[in-house]
Structure 1
Amino acid sequence: MWLNVAQIYFFLKGWKVITDFNPVSFIQYISSDQYQLIHDARVFTDFGRWSTVSKFLMKKAWKRLKRIVTVSYTSRNALVSKLGLEESSIVVSYNGCTPNNSSLAPSKKIEKDIDLIYVATYEKRKNHINLIKALKYIDKPMSVCFVGFDNGTKALIESTIANSNAIHSYRLLSDVDDDKLCDLYKRSKLLVYPSFYEGFGMPLIEAASFGCPIACSNLEVFKELLKDYPCYFEPGDPEDIARAITESFNTIIRDVKDFDMSVFNWDVITVRLLQDINMNFRS
């Protein structure tokens, strides 16, 4: 309620407001000064956490929005395709890395004692199970680190690991702060990201900022953000995941300069967002 009251206040003041609060405030439907932030289009997939009724109402609400901000062109295209929205009503603004992350190259003094790292919540769409199956095809023992909080599948993941009879060692970490996560990226030889669906993919950008090689799903959004930096695979095929992991380890480790982090710099993102919004309001 208080968020709606605040939005009415800003509307009356003539301010431009970006909010990701759902359900959408009625102010969003009558003002072109109000933007709805939509992180992804998961509501159109089977990976959302909403009931059928909630998904129906959310789609109806989004379809009537005047202005939207989203975090990738892939998500924008999905909103245009699924809801019939105009591209001109949607501003794309990437997520960014903090200066601390993007300015640090991996240190040669740090031991690379983690072969594979996967930073993702424990839920179905993150596809941990196929990654565990894929590792059965790799004969070399590997140190594997999963980082994330439980969103419903951690027990299944632990059970799958226990029954895999694998030669690999696994660690499942939770409650990892930013400093610890940065340390884990710098100690990792490869980030593997087998997710079935993403609106962005922040851990991939974070890993790339440290020069960590990446093997990931062949999702359009990953190709949009990372271009040819990763080794891509089909996330539903454990053998193909294993193929990409093997190829990544057989490839010379890339230098951090191979990946252009400038578009994920917060200062660049802020300037561009303000420019796009101002241009959008004049149109």
Structure 2
Amino acid sequence: MLYFSSPYYRSKRFSGANKRFEEIIFECERLSIEYTIIVVDGNTPNGISEHRCLYIPDSVSRSRFLTWIWLNIRFLILPKGIVINDFKPIPVFSYLKHDTYLLIHDLRKILNDSGEIKGFIGRINVLMLKFFPKIITVSNHSKNLLVKNCGLLDNDIVVSYNGITSEYTSNFVDVNVDRDIDILYVAHFENRKRHIDLLEAVILYNLSLKIVFVGVDNGGYCVIKPLINKANSLGHSITILDSLSESELISLYRRTKVYAFPSSLEGFGMPIIEAKSQGCKIVCSDIDVFKEILTSSDYIFKVKDIRSLLNELEKALNNTKRYSNSAEERFLWKNIVNRLLIDIKVI
């Protein structure tokens, strides 16, 4: 039995972590792999039967401690299997009874931007990882940081990339028509996403731009709101959207000239491969994980450097070369899931 445990998963929330959770489950369903998912009550993924689900009561999920207790008890009762869990503190009984992997999407709770352990909470996380070292993470960059900075062993860490759904690879259209959005950025509003840098570069740009932000406010919107107002007053047009369906997001990608990703910290960067598959030119910061998944045709600037970002935006927007869509084999979910199931010895 394969168990997918994610108290953080929400069926109507737009995020890379949610997409990954759903796509791996969908692929296991297609492959007829026996599995059970553990989610908060009311968050059954679309198309998945409720008999596949164990539900954490909503009242329990509001407390991290109660969720931890609930998971420990549940894992003690469940038949022995392979567990993929993304919740911390790590449910100890899961490791005592099951073959358990902790899924780490990014290291922001463990390491700072310089790769150093992040205070008391970071040290507690590192201690947990040393006691329960079997880990799945989404990039070689994250794996290398865990080995180098947290003292973990290379063999204890499985790398499993994020991918793109079949909606991105089917029904390709002419990618050179109707590109009416100059810049798109899909990211929740929080400081590490560096919307502030993109807006400061846009304010310096000498032509009016049409810009779309997609995401919800995780505490960073109040910081950038004055810059949005200033950019609009200079003639730019900025639209903010959230709660989009996959098809609506794909439509946005197909209308976009440049996908910008100025983030200073990421575990992977799923929107990059989504945007590239729909023909967007990519302008992104030079953090290591982006360099792992990008190619020489993309535009890379020095993170947090406004002039460098402005320069790459100008190059990309002024480039008249035809757009081209691409979907690398390493980023297709069927290949990702097949490799993961082999690595964790399900098949």
Write the distance in 2 (CA, Å) between the matches of 1:199 and 1:172: 24
- The answer to whether structure 1 residue 142 and structure 2 residue 209 are counterparts is yes
Q: Deviations over 1:61-100 (max 9, x none)?
A: 1222231111110111111111110110000011111111
Return the offset for 1:52: 4.9
- Describe the SS at the equivalent of 2:266: coil
Deviation at 1:111, TM superposition (A): 1.6
2:94 and 2:295 mapped to 1: Cα distance? 35
Rounded Cα–Cα distance in structure 1 between residues aligned with 2:315 and 2:185 = 17
TM-fit CA distance, 1:128:
0.8
**Matches of 1:125 and 1:132 in 2, distance apart?**
14
Cα-Cα RMSD: 2.3
**Does the aligned pair in 2 maintain the 1:190–1:212 contact within 8 Å?**
yes
1:240 aligns with 2:308: yes
1:157 to 218, 224, 229: 224
Residue in structure 2 matching 1:174, options 242, 245, 256: 242
Could you tell me which residue of structure 1 aligns to residue 100 of structure 2?
34
Question: Residue 222 of structure 1: CA displacement?
Answer: 0.8
TM-superposed CA distance for 1:134, in Å, is: 0.7
- Aligned residue for 1:219? 287
Give the 3-state SS of the residue equivalent to 1:239 in structure 2.
Answer: helix
Q: How does 1:1-283 map to 2 (within 5 A)?
A: 1-10=69-78, 13-27=79-93, 29-30=95-96, 33-42=99-108, 43-45=110-112, 52-108=119-175, 110-164=177-231, 165-251=233-319, 252-256=321-325, 259-278=326-345
Asked if 2 retains the 8 angstrom alpha-carbon contact of 1:196 and 1:235, the reply is yes
Q: Distance in 1 between matches of 2:242 and 2:177?
A: 22
SS of match in other structure, 2:244: coil
Aligned-partner Cα distance in 2 for 1:138–1:221: 27
Q: Which moved more, 1:133-142 or 1:53-62?
A: 53-62
- Which 5+ residue runs of structure 2 have no aligned equivalent? 1-68
Amino acid at match of 1:65: F
Shift in CA distance, 176/140, structure 1 to aligned 2, threshold 3 Å:
same
1:44-74 residue CA offsets vs partner (Å, 9 max, x unmatched): 1169xxx954333222212222311111101
Unaligned 5+ segments in structure 1 are none
Question: Contact 1:32–1:67 (CA<8 Å) still a contact in 2?
Answer: no
Q: Distance in 2 between matches of 1:104 and 1:198?
A: 30
Which whole-Å CA distance do the structure 1 matches of 2:180 and 2:259 have between them? 13
What TM-score, normalized by structure 1, do the two folds share?
0.89
SS in 1 for 2:238: strand
Cα distance in 2 for partners of 1:86, 1:219 equals: 23
3-state SS of the aligned residue for 1:60? helix
**Are the equivalent residues in 1 in contact too, given 2:184–2:211 (CA < 8 A)?**
yes
Which residue identity is paired with 1:220?
D
Asked if the contact 1:40–1:198 (Cα under 8 Å) also holds between the matched residues in 2, the reply is: yes
Letter in 1 for 2:80: G
CA contact (8 A) 1:122 1:150 kept: yes
- 213-222 or 173-182, which moves further after superposition? 173-182
Measure, in 1, the Cα distance between the counterparts of 2:314 and 2:174. 24
Task: Check conservation: 2:183, 2:212, Cα contact below 8 A.
Answer: yes
The aligned amino acid for 1:183 is S
- 2: CA distance between counterparts of 1:88 and 1:196? 28
Equivalents in 1 of 2:134, 2:176: separation in Å?
48
On the 8 A contact 1:122/1:151 being kept in 2, the answer is: yes
Question: SS in structure 2 opposite 1:91?
Answer: strand
> 2: CA distance between counterparts of 1:219 and 1:154?
23
CA distances 1:230-278 after superposition (whole Å, capped 9, x unpaired): 210012111110111111123313411xx44211111111111112222
- SS of alignment partner, residue 263 of structure 2: coil
**CA positional deviation for 1:152:** 0.7
Q: CA deviation at 1:121?
A: 0.5
Q: In structure 1, what is the Cα distance between the partners aligned to 2:171 and 2:251?
A: 11
- Paired amino acid for 1:205: I
Instruction: Tell me, yes or no, if the aligned pair for 1:93 and 1:273 is still in contact at 8 Å.
Output: yes
Residues 76-132 of structure 1 deviation map (CA, whole Å, 9 limit, x = unaligned): 111111111011000001111111113343435852111100110101001111111
The answer as to whether partners of 2:141 and 2:289 remain within 8 angstroms in 1 is yes
- 1:108–1:36 CA distance, 2 compared to 1 (3 A): closer
